[in-house]
Amino acid sequence: MYGMVKDDRHRTRAIASDGGEISIAAHKRAFQLVTAIQDEVHRYSITYSRSAHRKSGLESTLNGIPGIGKTRAAALYRHFKTIKAISAASEEELLAAPGMTRPAAKAVYDFYHAAPELPENKGGGISDL
């Protein structure tokens, strides 16, 4: 197991193991290898993070709508590109997305456009005077 040692400018200057540091700055091929490893780890982690974020965003909103499973949620996302666009779409626009049925389009529209529930008048307001 090795770790990377960074300088003040966040550039890799050495690799570290249990016993100390091994300088790589003077060894061009070693530096290139460590840089390639860093770049691949960075690319992989960003790709994974974006994928997980997109998936959790779909699951947290669309999958909570009756009649919308993973397949329809993914189809809506591919068609509209963003949750904001899905939430702003009319029933007819939602129906135009692949795999949508009229009841499913209505369910999505109603989910995003339902009027907020008003609390019941519990008394004590001006109208009670």
Residues 66-107 have pLDDT tens digits of: 888 888 888 898 899 888 999 999 999 999 999 899 999 999
Instruction: Specify the pTM.
Output: 0.47
Distance CA 16, CA 20 (A): 6
Can you give the pLDDT at residue 129?
A: 44
Distance CA 111, CA 49 (A): 28
Instruction: Name residue 4's amino acid.
Output: M
